[in-house]
Structure 1
């Protein structure tokens, strides 16, 4: 997963710098690769009976799942560099709270028959469908630009000691350039 995260990050950076795709479309594509493909592999995993094939499918599943790091994980910074930390904390809190439901789901479906492969298949299908659903929600609502609520009031900007800021077109400029363009408008 670590290696695949580096590779997917490099590919996505190249797509941005060469203007092949917009940031929002890169986030959509990477997140879909990281959620939908592993979901399909997870469903297939439920039908595998060979140990080497099972290990291979899980490794492939986790390797492809690294696409979410270039998808929704980094999108917090796209939306609001000033508030990325709190936004990331909230989204990860909800993600981790839903993961607490997995043992409940497994105990409800598998019950005491942990060797029953058809029951485990159902668990993997439910988890895969949940991943696909959440990916669809992300793909529909993703934004790749800094949102207006990211910016502080002008008085707060003048008190800020940082030399570089983001303008409303999502470009990094010096504070003096931003102030002069705002006065011209």
Structure 2
């Protein structure tokens, strides 16, 4: 198995959380807790793929890449609660609330699938050319020492 294939297999572990999220909308309280626990346990596979990928594609800029990607990853964390609040607040009856939450969980599941497909197709694993510096440095350079500043 080639190096890049590992990073494309790990996100497939997110299929379990996707199934659990869809099943939560049909479960009772105890079942929902069990399904969410299973979902959060398996979601670690997703992080083993794309977070480790930053180091492989650009070791010199891995911190910067993590920071930039986290900026975009934080946007749904701000927007989604607002949207979910608007959707669930407008539901009046029990059936409407259940339908609304099913719509929320299925929408999140669809986004998970889109992310997995996008990453598996376009997520690189090889070191990128922009990671390498154009400057050549000699490892045995002498640093001049100025003795005139000694008191």
SS at match of 1:73: helix
In angstroms, what is the RMSD of aligned CA positions? 2.0
Moved over 4 A (4+): none
* Counterpart for residue 26 of structure 2: 47
Answer with 1 or 2: which has the greater Rg: 2
CA contact (8 A) 1:38 1:65 kept: yes
TM-score by length of 2: 0.83
Aligned: 1:31 with 2:11: yes
Structure 1: unaligned runs, 5 residues or longer: 1-20, 162-185
Q: How many angstroms apart in 1 are the aligned matches of 2:4 and 2:140?
A: 29
Q: How many angstroms apart in 1 are the aligned matches of 2:138 and 2:80?
A: 48
CA contact (8 A) 1:77 1:84 kept: yes
Q: Deviations over 1:131-176 (max 9, x none)?
A: 1111111010122221111111132x43799xxxxxxxxxxxxxxx
100-109 or 137-146, which moves further after superposition?
Answer: 100-109
TM-score by length of 1: 0.68
Counting only pairs closer than 5 Å after superposition, residues 21-170 of structure 1 correspond to structure 2 as 21-33=1-13, 35-49=14-28, 51-113=29-91, 116-155=97-136, 157-158=137-138
CA shift, 1:111, in A, is: 2.1
Q: How many angstroms apart in 1 are the aligned matches of 2:32 and 2:75?
A: 28
